[in-house]
Structure 1
Amino acid sequence: MAVALLGGLAWVAVVQGGARIGTPMGQALAGSAIAALATAAGALPALFVRRISARWEDVMLGFGAGVMAAASCFSLILPGVAAGAGILGSKPAGAAIVAAGLVLGALFLLLADKAVPHEHPGAGRHGPGWMQLRRVWLMVFAIALHNFPEGMAIGVGFAGGDASVGVPLTAAIAIQDIPEGLVVAVALRTVAYTPLKAAGAAALTGLAEPLGAIVGVALTSGFAPLYPAGLGFAAGAMIWVVSHEIIPETHRKGHEQAATLGIIGGFVVMMLLDTALG
């Protein structure tokens, strides 16, 4: 059902994007729907596989972290500085407004982590109030929470009407979402969820991305300086997730070298992809 819901969302987004091919909102909805479907696609193998080795899980998460880190640099920060320089007439001013957005994005995730009960796959409980919520759904909610700024990044990427920013960013987030969807679904299977429920719950976390995309476009389309600031905000949020959430998780089980190779591989792939698509 979750996959069907995401498929319907993608169809609506693509139709809307086709009907308004020149509008940032239509493009952002289409891009975020593709990213959401990537999460669902990643969850599908959990229908047949109950668990994956901890080493491969860390490598896959590391690869996704590398993709996100490269996307933050090449698809958010650098275009943001260029856009800010064009709007403000000064490269230092452009860099400053992106830097301010980056700090705000990281602070937003910091406050969200402190305010919302959450878990990471296999890492135990974090945050206040965890006894009121089921363990597994805390983890699912945490993943959905982190998908929201990824959707915002897609929205901001298309808000300026420049596909050379939005398309590589969408590709990066979709690539990162595939292993994330698999890891979440397999984690749900290990705590006695049926294959369909595990894959469906993991797929549903992708619904946060179209919501984030709508917010990203809405917040940065009306006032020009908000566009580079929004790119910085999205970069700060993504870098926070990579550094605070993903890398510590991949280094927790003794697979630091394999995970780091995954990070480097993801960074290189995204760097080449951004060059090809940008």
Structure 2
Amino acid sequence: MEQLVIGSLLSALATGLGALPILFFHSVTHRWRDILLAFTAGIMMAAATFSLIPQALANEQFVVVCLGVLTGTLVLTVLESLIPHIDLEHTRVNISMDTQAVLILSAITLHNIPEGLSVGVSYSAEHPGLGGLIAFAIGVQNAPEGFLVALFLINQQVSRFKAFLLATLTGSVEVVSALVGYHLTALVEGLVPYGLSFAAGAMLFIVYKELIPESHGDGHARSATFSFILGLLVMIGLTQWFA
């Protein structure tokens, strides 16, 4: 339990770590943003395909893994349809500043719930290093997310410190959802393979639907591709190290 709390807390605080530079500067080139997003996509892709799915397959049948992955994908699809998707850098929605800020903060907060569940479920698995690996992968994804959220808020005339604080708070829901995921899988026998597969589906949705398209949107596809592969290799290396 102690490792779960520490891992989920560090993963959630990575959002604030990513937002920290906003206190000193408020711009980032599209090229570096795309490279960072693609690196994150590689990390999460490797975590899903080389850690979560193999661990789920080791405990259950292929059908269970398919059901879990599809459920994770469908849950994030529903969340995306319920919460408006707002481009953090190119927003042209004709609504007030306050309403727009609430929308984006709500979207990011809800988006973090499945990520926290992924961390909690991973700590319930029999593999001793899996929880730490998934917490790391989610944390890497949270860092650029925190920066972009803080940047959006500053562009909406929110003070730098307040933007940093709000961006950090969006990650706090991950600690609660991690605890929920951990206790659910601990209480319900046989739920771990479903939970691991669900986490994999959620992460793959984020990679393919959000991170990869975002990293290719400004003409830096080649740099983003190399960054994606590098992130993939880094996570595979970490997987072998913790094995």
Q: Same fold (TM over 0.5)?
A: yes
Matches within 5 A, 1:70-219: 70-84=46-60, 93=61, 95-122=62-89, 124=91, 134-219=99-184
Deviation at 1:193, TM superposition (A): 2.0
Deviates more, 1:49-58 or 1:116-125: 116-125
Deviation at 1:207, TM superposition (A): 0.7
Deviation at 1:80, TM superposition (A): 1.0
Deviates more, 1:98-107 or 1:74-83: 74-83
**Which structure carries more relative contact order (alpha carbon 8 Å, separation 6+)?**
2
**Kept after mapping to 1: 8 A contact 2:114/2:199:** yes
Matched with 2:219 is 254
Deviation at 1:186, TM superposition (A): 2.2
**Kept after mapping to 1: 8 A contact 2:13/2:172:** no
- Number of aligned residue pairs: give it: 242
SS of 1:229 mapped into structure 2 = helix
Q: Give % identity.
A: 39
Aligned equivalents of 1:218, 1:131: Cα separation in 2? 40
Aligned equivalents of 1:205, 1:65: Cα separation in 2? 20
Contiguous gaps of at least 5 residues in structure 2: none
Deviation at 1:38, TM superposition (A): 1.4
Q: Deviations over 1:173-225 (max 9, x none)?
A: 22222222222222322332221011111111111211220221132222332
**Kept after mapping to 2: 8 A contact 1:155/1:217:** yes
Q: TM-score scaled by structure 2? A: 0.91
Cα RMSD (Å): 2.1
Matched with 1:230 is 195
Matched with 1:20 is none
SS of 2:140 mapped into structure 1 = helix
Deviation at 1:28, TM superposition (A): 2.1
**Kept after mapping to 1: 8 A contact 2:79/2:111:** no
Q: TM-score scaled by structure 1? A: 0.80
Structure 1 counterpart of 2:78, one-letter code: L
Aligned equivalents of 2:142, 2:74: Cα separation in 1? 23
Deviation at 1:160, TM superposition (A): 2.7
Structure 2 counterpart of 1:205, one-letter code: T
Contiguous gaps of at least 5 residues in structure 1: 1-22, 85-92
Q: Deviations over 1:232-251 (max 9, x none)?
A: 00110111111112222222
Deviation at 1:148, TM superposition (A): 1.4
